[in-house]
Structure 1
Amino acid sequence: MVSQSELLTKKSEHIQRMFGSIAGVYDLLNTILSFNFDKSWRKFAVRVSNVTPDAQILDVCTGTGDLAIEYSLKLNDRGKVTGSDFCREMLEIANRKLKKKHVSDKINILCADTLHLPFHDNYFQVSSVAFGIRNVSDLKAGISEMARITAPGGRVVILEFSQPTNTFFREMYYLYFKKILPFIGKIISKSTCNAYAYLPSSVLNFPDRYGLKVQMEACGLVDVKIYARTLGIVTIHVGKKP
Structure 2
Amino acid sequence: MDFAGKDKATYVKETFNSIAPRYDLMNTLMSLGMDKGWRRLAVQKVGAMPGMNILDVCCGTGQLSFELGQAVGSDGNVTGLDFSQKMLEVAERSLQQTSNTAHIRFIQGNAMELPFPDNSFDGVTVGWGLRNLPDLRQGLKEMIRTVKPGGKVVSLDMAKPSLLGFKQAYWLYFEKLIPLMGKVWTRKASAYQYLHDSAREFPAQEELVRIFAECGLKDTCFTNLAGGVVAIVSGKKP
Query: Do both share a fold (TM > 0.5)?
Result: yes
Greater RCO structure (CA 8 Å; 6+ sep)? 1
Q: Aligned partner of 1:211: which letter?
A: E
For the Cα contact (< 8 Å) 2:70–2:101, is it kept in 1? no
Deviation readout 1:14-44 (Å, 9 max, x if unpaired): 1110000000110111111111111111011
Q: Which residue of 2 aligns with 1:197?
A: 193
Q: Which residue of 2 aligns with 1:121?
A: 118
CA–CA separation in structure 1 for the residues paired with 2:39 and 2:7 = 24
In 2, the alpha carbon distance for the partners of 1:30 and 1:113 equals 23
- Measure, in 2, the Cα distance between the counterparts of 1:112 and 1:172: 37
C-alpha separation between the residues in 2 aligned to 1:228 and 1:111?
31
CA RMSD of aligned residues (A): 1.5
- 1:57-72 alignment, distance < 5 Å: 57-72=54-69
Which one-letter code corresponds to 1:72 in the other structure? Answer: G
Q: Distance in 2 between matches of 1:35 and 1:163?
A: 18
CA distance in 2, matches of 1:121, 1:55: 16
1:23 and 1:93 in contact (8 A); partners too: yes
Report what 1:241 is aligned to: 237
Matched, 1:209 2:209: no
Are the equivalent residues in 2 in contact too, given 1:10–1:136 (CA < 8 A)? no
Name the amino acid aligned to 2:10: E
- How much has 1:10 moved relative to structure 2? 5.7
Q: Distance in 2 between matches of 1:185 and 1:123?
A: 38
Q: Distance in 2 between matches of 1:183 and 1:160?
A: 21
Gaps of 5+ in 1: none
Matches within 5 A, 1:22-101: 22-101=19-98
1:142 aligns with 2:139: yes
Larger deviation, residues 151-160 vs 101-110: 101-110
- Report if aligned partners of 2:74, 2:101 keep a CA contact under 8 Å in 1: no
Q: Structure 1, residues 168-217: CA drift from partner, whole Å, max 9, x if none?
A: 111111111111111111221112x7100011111111111111111111
Tell me the CA shift for residue 89 of structure 1: 0.4
The equivalent residue for 2:226 is 230
5 Å-filtered alignment, 1:13-28, equals 13-28=10-25
Compared CA separation, residues 10 and 31, structure 1 to 2 (3 A): farther
> 1:227 corresponds to which letter in structure 2?
T
Q: Residues 10, 78 of structure 1: CA spacing in aligned structure 2 closer, same or farther, 3 A cutoff?
A: farther
Counterpart in the other structure of 1:110: 107
Aligned partner of 2:220: which letter?
Answer: V
- Amino-acid identity (%): 39
Aligned to 1:164: 161
How many residues are paired up? 238
